[in-house]
Each structure stands twice: as structure tokens, then as C-alpha cells.
Structure 1
């Protein structure tokens, strides 16, 4: 190698600027002119969904989005969906083209691309269950308005598997292009680390208390309509022994001057009850106000609910709603179920059991079970009973429920990390909440409870970092239902930038099994992202043909940009181009599909360098490694990220994503021979917005090609139509190839 060539290589290596990256050299170059056409009907008549005059007398060959070897030394290239969008491509026919590639390998050489026969993708056997463009024709040729093919493989049996972005779907074709099976939808495989593997429950904290006065039938009704799985009544007892829903036994708190500092009813405005003010010791604190246990149910029914946080939530609904009983809440649930078919559960909290026993002479735990049994609402799938104290839950588990012939799941609530359950404090037990959350403490809770309900600070710390609390609780067999998620900026830590959904998603990805929220509509929206049975893009036919009112869970055309086959020919690897709603930004799901069983699993998540990037293609290296193209949305001088990464299927980063290593920077390729016409100063750049083809030729050589988005421009100049460029890249260090990988 000459000194000049060596210096160019060293310069390219330094410019890469990423540890472990290889300096790659352009070993071959060829290009296909932009205006290259194949036989077929005139095309290009559609623009923005409107049909005009055809722009092209034939079918453009280009727009390649996948490459595989053909057995005779040629290559098969998959055409993209056409003219850049579903509504522009109804006359673009989906094909695989056979290309013969001859690279330019010396300054005096010539690169050549010859277009041979093509395979037309079609559905004559009517496997597609919705209307396609050529619905009525016998051949039913598939077009870019039907599917957006972005990757393909040739299976060991000779059939073709194609990855689509519109569904996203997997499509299975015969070797000559006939669709063999109905399009396979993409299952939603969130891989959530919940105890059961199911999406978390949405628990309406005091009803939809962010939008209606808390603990009213209206707050519960709105919560049910918003999609809550459970509604939560805090239960206290009246003077005549009836359970009613209030957050505290005191319904209006007064300061030393007699001013109301917090209230959930209008009792302080009722002169007939002025003499009911009392000071009582509530869990070690003297509190002055109006107490539920000093009022009969009939007296309470004359009062009306008011907003507890009026400065934040207003007073629009003050004075409209009664204080409901537990029986009335159950009646509301049953009425809603009769009218709508929605089966929701109830999640009562026995408030201050020690206080209630001392002040009202009532065992509220017993009263809860008696009421639930009387109302016939004892299905363990629809009831959780919770408490901040421990003794009453132990009594429920050991004595009260067995005597009643009832077995319901119990949840130990957990306050802040400096606190302790009051019943322990009252009997001089020194244990604190931190003692209850040791491995031994959690195992002890699991002897009487099914779950634990911690304040959310146990799950996500003050720095916004996810803790190991959920993992430890799950290890003890406990469900985790943290509280309380609210939409208002007042309650949101700064790192969420006023986005309550982001906070919920972080908790869900931590593995929580349910979450308490004042805004169940928001909770239901976020959880639905994980509960949807399929991943769907906005171009999914369920949306475009009006068959579904659901929401897309994937960005526009964010489907299977990457599709490849394992070296043993048994497993498809399918990588989405965009992040599924609910997943961490910039993480892409990589699926494995067993060809024999058609079973899907989630291999892991690919971490993009930046959330706005996308992937372009994947190809195997060996059983545990793939090569991935990652690219930004820039082209020409604006291009910043066009890279090849080697992706491990077994090694993971600290955040659980799959580990990747930079293999080549496509904006910094050494070209000491000047093989490419655009090379400047010995450095070749590949600055196309879409680079969607990569395949391993041998241990030190890979072939890369772009999708030119015909008749797109910008890669080599604002007014220059993009060609398809084919580049052969020589790696400085060999890949560890599995048998069968590379040109055979």
C-alpha cells in the first residue's frame, strides 16, 4: 500500500470518532441510472390520492428496499412501494428484480448494473382479506397502495417472505410471487416485566378525581367510562354503622381560627351542624373538624360534595353530588355492566382501622366483608381490599374472610420511606416501612397479602431513576400497584416535562401490575398501548378502510424495514423501523419468528443513536450477530448519521437493550483509488436519506445499496435525481461468519 493510501486510511479511521469502529475502504462501485424502466403499464398517475396523467411509460425499476443472493451469481432486489406514499402508488407494481452487478474495482475499470427478469408479486388466490387496488382482476397484481415491502428473504424451501410496513405484516409468497397465506399481523409483544406478563390495571384513585369531586358516584361513573379496570372507594363508617366513601373520616378540617383548610363536603356551610366540630387524635395527630362517625347516614345525605383541591381543579361541580355508600357504588357498577357490558372491579380501602375501632367501635374490615357478601360482590377477580395498616389485613386473611367463606386478594399499602404503619407504631413495634420492604419483610407481607401498594417514589426515585423495588416485590410473589399518578404539573417531577404519560410509561416498563391515577382516561390510553393485540401503523387497512376506530401503535410506515433469515434457515428476524407506542423513545422491537411453528418471540430492542433515526436493513453475520443499517433523515450535505452496526442478539446494555458496535461510517469511506465519481479528497460519502440494502459477501466484504425514492432528489444535489448506487466495502477486520453466510 502506498504512503498516500495509508494516510487516507488513517485519516478515515480518525474521522470515524467512535471507539471500536473499523475504517472501511471502497472496494467496488456501480450505479443504475435513475430513469431505468421495466415493461409494464404506465405509472405515476397518482399524486396525493388524486389521479391524473401517467408520468412514466412503464414501471421504474428503482426504489430498492431489500437484497438477497440469487443462485446463479446474480442478486434479487425488492422494489419499494413506489412513489413515496400509499396514496401515490396505486399504479406501481410490486416486484423483485434480478440484477447482475459488475463492480468497478480499479480506476480504469467500469461498473455495470444489468436488469434481468422480475418476479411479480400477486394474489390470484385471494389471500388478502380486504380490498386491494386490483381487486377485480384475475391476477390481482399487488401495488404500492396495497403493501410497502421493505425486506425479504428466500426460505430454504424456495418460498419468499416479505416484510411490510403498512400493517405491519409478514407476507409469504411462492418462488414465482404468488401469495400463499393471508398476511400475518404483528402481535403486540411488549415483554412487560409484570408479575403475570399481562398489561397493568388502571385503578381510578377515588374515581376520576382529577375531573370530578372525589368519592362521588359521578367520579366513579366517569372513571368507568374512561376505561378504568377498578374504582377505588376509601371507606369510613357513619354513626349508624354504614360504610360510605370519603378519603378521611374527617370531611372538613379547621385551623386554630376555625377556618376550613380542606374539605370534601359542604358541611362547614351548614349552620345546623355547627355544633358538631370536634378535635380528635387521628393516628397520633390532633385534628379539628367534622367527623363522619358523628353523623348518621340520613344527615350525610343532606350534604353535598365539594372539590378537595379547588385552587387546582376548580369548583365547577361543587354542591351537585351526594356522599355515596358502598352499596350504592356496587349498584352503580352493576348498572354500568348491564348497560355497557363493561365489567369493572372495586378496590376498597379500610381507612384508619385502629382509629375506627377506638372512635366508632366498629371493625371496618368485618363490615366490608359483610357488605360485600350481602351485595353478592365477592368475585376475587373483581375485588382488592387494601390498607396502610397490617393487623387488619392479617385478621382478614386469617379469620374474617375464612369465617365468611370469602377469599379476596389483599394489598398492603406503603407510605413514604420514612414512615411506618400506624398499628405498628401504636403497639410500640419499631419496624418502619423500610423494614417491610427488605426481602424478608416482603416475604412476610406475602404470607397474608397478594400485593403491595407503594407510593410511586419507591418505584422511581427523586432523580427519575427506576429502582429495583418491583423486581424485589415480584421475587416475593407480590403484585405491585403504586399510587398516585396525576396529570397536573404540580404533581409531575420535572424530568417528565409536563407529560404525565411519560411517567406512567416509565412505571409500566419497570413492571408495575397496576397504577392508581386521578385521571383514569390517561391511564387507560397509556395501558392500551401495551394491551392492543396487534401492532398497527396508521396505514393499516383496519384504519384506511374504516374497519376499526382504534388507535395506531406505530408511527407512519414504521413497520418491518429490516427482515432477514438466521444462518440455519429456521428463524426470521424482523426489526421494526419505528418505536411502538409505549416503548422507550428510540428503542425498536426485534422479533424472531420460527418458520416451522409460525411462533413469534421478542428477541430484544435495538437502541437508536437518536430517537429521530431509523433503521434501513438487517443481515446475518452468524447465529448471534446481525448487521444493521442506521440512518438519520438527512441527505446530501445535511446527512449526519449513515452507519452500519454489528448487533449482538445475546449481549445487552445496562438498560436491557441489545448491544451494538459501530462497524462502518458510510459518510466516511476511504476511496484511495477514486472508484466513485463523487469521492473528494480520497473520502467517499453515501449521503442518501434511505439506505435500505446490505448483505455480507464474505468475511471482509459487504455490499450496500440505497433506495432512491424515485424520482427523488437530494443525495447528490438538490436538482439531481438520485440513482441507485451499489458499493462494495472492504472491512479492516474480518467478521466471524456462520456457515452459509456470504456468497456461496
Structure 2
């Protein structure tokens, strides 16, 4: 099913006068069984070597085209026999072809295969083993790279796009590799406040997998990839900060039943007299409260799972209640052993309540952080649901202590209110903290805001403008709480917690709290891994483990082109990078002088199951893209040429595109092509991977025949390569240097 916005884009483009069927004005074809000199090939099947099937090298299939010398064309042959492990004897080459178009029924079209440029690495630029490692010539094969597009630089050198890495490959004009393959940086382009990578905050540790606020939970969070761990802090009777979500560690109803607990205190009859009822933020709560126990007494208790019906009791009774100092010691131990600098994100719980009990938790927190020497502002955020204590920290407590740590104003759901407001008779709710003026006020004392996630993504699953407005006030945004369990997910996510996290990241959040930090780290890692890598990347064979593959197999640079001024390469991925919106493909720019990569934008496929085939310039801001379905013969329905703008975008942020030619519906009034029926020519090959602008009104288009594939022109007919000269109904706005003048 197509996405609604994309469908609308397609319908609009079809309604434009520019988007009419093209006319076939020239035709030629190259028989499938066309071979060039070279070693026998086709000996491999699923990685196993047998007898060669072919006496030489298949000339086809072609995956890129550029103008060659003397009116000829250069065509790039791709990685060979359909898969990496089948193509170790398929040599990567650019073939010089002389094309003669059949322009009338009586004319004779033809294709003459001339010389070729053999791609090779005699200077050992490739830093990993290649098939012909021991050969002096080190000829490159389809098991080494999947080459899919190329461009000729102003200096005559060749730039080739690879799909395995994906890499950019730089060759001399005669095919000699000039430098090591250039990897593709992971330019996710997330709209965070300062363009920084989002952080993953282990909510109460890894509370989805271990009892919350235990050292085991914090350790699991760190091991899962959390950047920060969150200790909620309450105070013992003897003034020690310990980690519990609430001052009450077991809630008991009137019948004596424990309704919620984070410690097994109800199983300790020696503490039976501590059962009491207190007003916690104005609400009567009956249970056992931390401030009624000394630290020594708490040491005799053990943590239990707060949500046993959902998360079980496998770890009940195994872990103690930790102090803040012990949590800091854990973080230091991890740093000493691994070098990872994990941060702390403490919350002072119920400060007004604790103040009435005789404790200033803000002061205790700063005192403890100073005593433990953990006051690096890059590694600490202090958060609170109340406002007055944060203002006091900013104005008084931290300056007196010589400490300057970032503060975060938590914002709960609209039906709740900061208790310090309620306690002084202020009837406002948390919504009063979400206006533009309120956000600007928060920025006078805090560095960030921690909203309930429905302020960022509403109950309908729609992204709101909260993050944009908070960023406008200069505030970081760290929403809570992202959980893996279906009861916490909107129906639109279909049980996929990663989809919710991705949506939040695309909204621009600067981090998020999650009970499952391993999941959060995986999702953030898709955006922040240093490189885009397919499963076939040689980096994995060399032991790389810093990030998993984040691009589908052979999903690299299917489209590669040079700007008309010769200064920039444009490289379009064939598949969606993990974390990006399905069906959106990254278009990169690579500055040939500075070697700097930038993300131009994202090309939206009409259907996420489609693929692109080629990219070629029209002018400085407009390029042609081949887009196709993954079917051939009678099943093929979608093979098109689009013009895409590098500067104009759709409402969803994708690059604006316009239909130029429908290759399944080409007029052929002269009957130039053998497959034309009733004056209509269709081009139903699986992969159409070659397009170049001949002049303002004429394109040359050709298919990749995936030799020795069949099916395009009949179930048992070998796919040939067909070359189409297409006359457009409306001319393109060509830049100087584009086309063959």
C-alpha cells in the first residue's frame, strides 16, 4: 500500500502538462549472449566453484552510462551473476559502445562493442583481501565490489559507486584504483537542538529487565548502551540519598494487602510498626516510607519487581537498595574497566514533601556529588517535576557550592500539576509550562525540559510542535518513558517499540528515557553509527563490531552522477538506511575539492518496495532518477523517469519530484521496437539502470539484463539489452555542459 502523501504527490505530478508519455524515436539492442575477451566465467554457484559456463566475459549487464570519446558511450558492467558469492570470476569493466539508433521502420539500428577499461588495484589501495589478491594486476571482480554508477571528473578520472560497502571508488582514466575506498558517513540529519547525537537515558536503570533502581538494573542499562542512568533519589532517616522511585517502598491497602512495592519490607515483621499513613503531595498513602528507616535498616531489605504481572518476579530478593554514592562508584568502575563515560540523571523526588520531613534533597544531592567528585556538567543532569527547587538550585545552592550543572524541568500529563504550585494554592496544571512564554521562562533556570511523551507524540500518533517550540527557546528535550511492552504502545506502532522511538527522534528530541535502554541504543545507533554499512561490507569481515549493518544488502550507491560544473558528485542510495522513513533514500553530495560529504535530502519512492536505477543531471538543481518496481515481464507495472529537485521539498521534507516519462507506456507510432503493440511500447525489464540526457528533448535509456536472466520479453527468452531514444513532450531546462551538443 502506498503512503497517502506519496500517492498525492504522484497524482499531482501526473496532472502536470510536463508529465506525459514520451515517444520512442530510436531503438537498438544488444543480444544477451555477447562476450568480450577475458578468462572463462560463471563457475560459481552459491560460493561453490564448478565448471565455467561461459568461455569469456559477459559484456552485460549495464548499470551506468556516460558519454565516451568520439560519439561513443561508456557503459559500466555491474557485479556480475546476481550475487557476491557467484561473481568471483566476473571482471568489473567499463565498455565502450557505439550505438546506432533505428529511427525509421526501414532503418537498421545496431550496437558495436569496442574496447574496455578494466578496473583493477595493482597498487594495493584496497585494505582487505580481494579475489585476485596474489595477482600482480589485481583485477577487480563482482565478488569485490558491486559497481552500479559512475561519473567522469573534470580531470578525466573515474568515480564509481559501490553497493557492498557502500563506497566511492576513485580510478584513473584507464581503470587503476587511485586511493582506498571511501566509506559512506552516516548523515542522519536528526533535528536535535544543536545537531548533536541524541542520548539514551536508562529509566531507573534497565527497569524493563531488572528490578528498578538496583545496581543490577543500572549495570544492565550501561551494558545495553545507555548514555545516562537515572537514579530517583529519596532520603533515609539518617540523611543518606538512596535510589527509589518514591519515598513509599510498599503501598498497603486497608485489608493489609501490598498493592505496589519496590522492596520486600512487608515480609519483615520486625518493621511492622513502621506501617503508617502519610500525605504524599496531598494524597493519603498507607505504606512503608524510606525516611522512617536508617540506611542500616534498609540494608536488610531486598528489591522486588514493581510490575510483577508484566515483568515477573525472577529477580525478587536478590538486590539491595543502593545509595547515590554506590551508583557513582558503579559508574566509575565501568569507566575504569571500559573507558565509557556514562552520565547520571538524578531526580530529587517530591522536594516539597521531603522539605516538610526535614530534608533539602537538592542540597543533599549537590553535597554528595561534590563529595564524590562527580560534578562534570557533561555527565550530570538534575531533574524535577517541581519548579521552585530547580530555581533554588540555579540561583543559590549550586553557585554557593561552586557547581554549575544543567537542570531539566519535568512536565507531566495535562491533568497533573507541579506540587509546589498546588501547595501554595496555584491552580494551574502542567500545560501552563508548555506555552512559548513558559518555555522561555524555563530557559532562564534550566537547560532542558523532560516532557511526558504525549506532549511530543499525541494519542493519535501525530508528531506535535512541542520539540520545535522548546528548541526555539533554547531547551533540550528529553521525553519519557519509552517502553517495549505492548500495553504502553499506541496501536499504530503494531507492537513495535522501535517505531515509536524513531518517530521521537525524527521529531528532534535530544534524548529519551526508556525502560529498555538496549532497544533505545539500537535505534539511536542506527542514526549515529559513524558509517552506513550493508551486510556485505568488508568492514565486518575485518572484525568491525562498533555498529551493525544499517543498510539492506546491495543497497548502496545505485545512482552516481556529477554536477554540471564538475565540482560535486551526487550519490543516491538504493535502499533506506535503518531508522529512516521506509521508502526514503538518502541523496548525498561529495565535494571533489574538499572531500566533504553532505546530505542533500531524501528521495521518496512511490512505493517503499520500489528501487532506483540511475541518476543523471539536468542542471545545477535538477536531476533525473529512474524508479522501478521489482517485477519483469507481465508482472511489471512501474518503470519511470522522474525529475527531482535538489532545492524544492515536499511538506514531509522529501525532495520534490515530477514525472518525466512512463517507460511502461511509451508511444511508438513508427513501430521501431519489436515489442511494440498497437503503437505502444513498454519496457518491462526487472532492472532499468541507465539514463543520460542527449539534448533538451531526448533521453537515452537502457536496461541491465542481469545476464543470464530471462523473463523480460518472455518466460524462456534471455533478456537482451535494449537502448531507447526517447523524445520528451516538454523540453528539459538543461545547464551548459549537459547533453551531447
TM-score grouping bracket, smaller chain normalisation: over 0.9
Say whether residues 1:608 and 2:605 are aligned partners: yes
Conserved 8 A contact 1:386-1:412: yes
Separation in structure 1 between the aligned mates of residue 303 and residue 731 of structure 2, nearest angstrom: 74
Deviations 1:127-181 (A, max 9, x none): 1111111112221111111111100111111111111111111111111111111
What are the within-5 Å matches in structure 2 for residues 399-478 of structure 1?
399-478=396-475
CA distance in 2, matches of 1:723, 1:68: 20
| Match of residue 138 from structure 1 | 136
Conservation of the 8 A alpha-carbon contact between 1:421 and 1:433? yes
Equivalent position to 2:154, from 153, 156, 161: 156
Quote how far apart the aligned CAs of 1:413 are. Answer: 0.5
- Does the Cα contact within 8 Å between 2:586 and 2:603 map onto a contact in 1? yes
Q: Provide the residue aligned with 2:30 in structure 1.
A: 32
Q: CA deviation at 1:430?
A: 4.2
- Please name the residue that 2:7 is paired with: none
| Contact residue 671 and residue 682 of structure 1 kept, 8 A | yes
User: What is the aligned length?
Assistant: 730
Quote the residue 2:669 is aligned against. Answer: 672
> Quick one: distance in 2 between partners of 1:97 and 1:630?
24
Corresponding position: 1:383 with 2:387: no
Question: TM-score scaled by structure 2?
Answer: 0.97
Matched, 1:363 2:360: yes
Residue-by-residue CA offset, 1:300-326 (whole Å, 9 max, x unaligned) = 111111111111000111111111111
Distance 1:183 1:15, change over 3 A: closer
Q: How far did residue 88 of structure 1 move?
A: 0.9
Q: 1:17 to 1:595 in 2, by over 3 A?
A: closer
How far the C-alpha of 1:394 sits from its partner, in A, is 0.6
> In structure 2, what is the equivalent of residue 235 of structure 1?
233
Provide the residue aligned with 2:642 in structure 1. Answer: 645
Q: Which residue number in structure 2 is paired with residue 18 of structure 1?
A: 14
The match for 2:48 among 38, 47, 50 is 50
Residue aligned with 1:573, SS: strand
Residue deviations 1:677-721, cap 9 Å, x none?
111222111111111000111111111100011001111112111
Partner in structure 1 of residue 691 of structure 2 = 694
2 CA distance for matches of 1:692 and 1:93?
19
Q: Do residues 351 (structure 1) and 349 (structure 2) align?
A: yes
> Which has the higher mean CA deviation after the structures are superposed, 176-185 or 424-433?
424-433
Q: What pairs up with 1:517-596 in 2 under 5 angstroms?
A: 517-548=514-545, 550-596=547-593
Note if contact 1:15-1:668 (Cα within 8 Å) is conserved in structure 2.
Answer: no
Contact 1:67 1:695 in 2 (8 A): yes
TM, length-normalised to structure 1: 0.96
Aligned: 1:718 with 2:718: no
Shift of 1:527: 1.0
Distance between the aligned counterparts of 1:326 and 1:737, measured in 2?
67
- Distance of 2:631 and 2:12 partners within structure 1: 18
Q: 1:175 to 1:726 in 2, by over 3 A?
A: same
Which residue pairs with 1:341 in the alignment? 339
Alignment partner for residue 621 of structure 1, among 613, 618, 622? 618
Q: Does structure 1 conserve the Cα–Cα contact (< 8 Å) formed by 2:183 and 2:531?
A: yes
SS at match of 1:656: coil
Matches within 5 A, 1:119-198: 119-198=117-196
Q: Unaligned stretches of 5+ in structure 1?
A: 1-13
* Aligned partner of residue 673 in structure 1, secondary structure: coil
3-state SS, counterpart of residue 622 of structure 1: coil
Distance 1:679 1:551 in 2: 47
2:500 aligned with 1:503, yes or no?
Answer: yes
Change beyond 3 A, Cα 1:138–1:72? same
Q: Deviations over 1:230-285 (max 9, x none)?
A: 11010000111111111011111122333221111111222222222222111122
Q: Is the 8 A contact 1:543 1:549 kept in 2?
A: no
CA distance in 1, matches of 2:733, 2:660: 13
- Per the TM alignment, residue 509 of structure 1 is displaced from its structure 2 partner at its CA by 1.1
SS in 2 for 1:115: strand
Q: Is the 2:93–2:118 contact (alpha carbons within 8 Å) kept by the matching residues of 1? A: yes
Tell me, which stretches of 5 or more residues in structure 2 are unaligned?
Answer: 1-9
Asked if the contact 1:16/1:23 (under 8 Å) is kept, the reply is no
8 Å contact kept, 1:215–1:245: yes
Which secondary structure state, in structure 1, belongs to the residue aligned with residue 522 of structure 2? helix
Q: Deviations over 1:578-626 (max 9, x none)?
A: 0011111111000011111111100000001111111000111111111
Residue in structure 2 matched with residue 102 of structure 1 by the alignment: 100
Partner of 1:492: 489
Deviation string for 1:163-222 (max 9, x for gaps)?
111111111111111111111111111111111212211100001100111011111111
Preserved CA contact (<8 Å) 2:13 2:659: no
- Residue 123 of structure 1: how far off its partner (Å): 1.2
C-alpha displacement at 1:467, in angstroms? 1.1
Query: Distance in 1 between the 2:736 and 2:563 partners?
Result: 11
Q: Deviations over 1:423-473 (max 9, x none)?
A: 112122344322222221111111111111001111111111111111111
The aligned counterpart of 1:288 is 286
**Per-residue CA shift, 1:361-383, capped at 9, x if unaligned?**
01000000011111111111111
Distance 1:291 1:17 in 2: 66
**Structure 1 residue aligned with 2:6:** none
Aligned to 1:732: 729
Cα displacement string for residues 553-580 of structure 1 (whole angstroms, at most 9, x for unaligned residues): 1100000000011111111110000001
Are the counterparts in 1 of residues 633 and 712 from structure 2 also a CA contact under 8 Å? yes
Distance in 2 (CA, whole Å) between partners of 1:15 and 1:449 is 48
Equivalent of residue 395 in structure 2, options 386, 389, 398: 398
* Alpha-carbon offset, residue 17 of structure 1: 9.6
Deviation, structure 1 residue 549: 6.5
- Aligned-partner Cα distance in 2 for 1:502–1:352: 33
Checking the alignment, whether the CA contact within 8 Å between 2:214 and 2:322 is kept in structure 1 is yes
Deviates more, 1:195-204 or 1:392-401: 195-204
Indicate conservation of the 8 Å contact 2:14/2:20, yes or no. Answer: no
Deviations 1:56-108 (A, max 9, x none): 11110011000011131111100111111111111111111111111111122
Any idea what SS the aligned residue of 2:250 has?
A: strand
Retained in 2: the 8 A contact 1:16–1:665? no
Deviation at 1:545, TM superposition (A): 4.4
Cα distance in 2, alignment partners of residues 86 and 564 from structure 1 = 24
1:309 is aligned to 307
Tell me if structure 1 keeps the 8 A contact 2:13–2:658. Answer: no
What is the alpha-carbon distance in structure 2 between the residues aligned to residue 708 and residue 15 of structure 1?
Answer: 30
Helix, strand or coil: the match of 2:313?
Answer: coil
1:290 offset after TM fit, Å?
1.1
Q: CA RMSD in A?
A: 1.5
Which of these residues, 94, 116, 119, is aligned with residue 118 of structure 1? 116
Deviation at 1:656, TM superposition (A): 0.7
**Structure 1 residue 75 corresponds to structure 2 residue 73:** yes
SS class of match (1:22): coil
Counterparts of 2:283 and 2:638, CA distance in 1: 61
Report the Cα offset of residue 335 of structure 1.
Answer: 1.7
Using the alignment, how far apart are the partners of 2:101 and 2:109 within structure 1?
4
Q: Which of structure 1's runs of 4+ aligned residues deviate more than 6 A?
A: 14-17
**SS of equivalent to 2:598:** strand
1:87 is aligned, of 80, 85, 89, to 85
